[in-house]
Amino acid sequence: MQEVSDIKVEDWGRTAYADATARQLILVGQRIKGEAPDQLIFTEHDAVYTVGLRHGSVKNLLWDPAQLAAQGISVADTNRGGDITYHGPGQIVGYPIVDLSAVKDLHAYLRFLEEVMIRSVGRLGLAATRRDGLTGIWVGTRKIAAIGVAVRRWVAYHGFALNVAPNLEHFTGIVPCGIASADGTVTSLAAELSSPPSMTEVRAVLAQEFRSRWPEFIQPTS
């Protein structure tokens, strides 16, 4: 039987969003059947706006087809929770394919993912926090990471996106996560730190934090 701390970590490199989603669904099916372990997938996506299940999300797409084509950004519907967001090169996307049946609490899982990222960027030299009523992590009113998950028979997929050094201009083509500019903007590690870490370093820290905190989350001692 798999130990809860034995999280398999894999890097898919650069992927198209649709291809990564299809690969996730295969892994979800395998995890449900007990044919695969819990695992954490890392990837960087080709530039894409993904539209979540929140009602009215597509209204937060601001650029018209000509602007999208000029920037080389596609648009994809997705079955994760949340609003519209951006994925692209320079952003680390993490897809944990994990069994939550021992917890059965999706909100607690979202807070777990936030904690992993808060502690990860803290180790990299940046203080980030939560904001009441808003999923993700923030530096003041600047959002540095987004979260959107889906679940099938208590196996979670999709996950989080941490801005390391993406093209921040691409976020101006949407209302990111449905949050108006008066309430917040978007930032990255490269924008906040004088000596930003490499993608390799960030992936390593995220993996360490996830794996070290997973056992307590899935099997709390109290």
Question: pTM (2 decimals)?
Answer: 0.90
Q: What is the mean pLDDT of the chain?
A: 90
What domains lie within the chain, and their CATH numbers? 8-214 (3.30.930.10)
The answer to whether 122 touches 68, Cβ cutoff 8 Å, is: no
Strand partners, 43: 93
For the record, the structure tokens of 93 come out as 């996307």
Of 109, 113, 59, 47, the closest CA to residue 84 belongs to 59
Which three-class secondary structure string do you get for 85-148? EEECCCEEEEEEEEECCCCCCHHHHHHHHHHHHHHHHHHCCCCCEEECCEEEEEECCEEEEEEE
- In this structure, are residues 161 and 136 in contact, taking their beta carbons and an 8 Å threshold? no
- Residue 1's pLDDT band, with cuts at 50, 70 and 90, is very low
What does the pLDDT look like over 69-120, one tens digit per residue?
Answer: 999 999 988 877 677 889 999 999 999 999 999 999 999 999 999 999 999 9
- pLDDT band per the 50, 70, 90 thresholds, residue 3: very low
pLDDT number for residue 4? 42
For residue 182, what pLDDT band results from cuts at 50, 70 and 90?
Answer: very low
User: What amino acid positions are annotated as catalytic residues?
Assistant: 177
- CA dist 155 to 15, 54, 111, 143, 162, Å? 22, 21, 17, 27, 22
| pLDDT over 70, % of the chain | 92
pLDDT mean over 181-198: 86
Residue 58 C-alpha from the chain's centroid: 19
pLDDT of residue 178: 57
- Alpha helix (H) residue ranges in the chain: 17-32, 65-71, 106-123, 189-192, 199-218
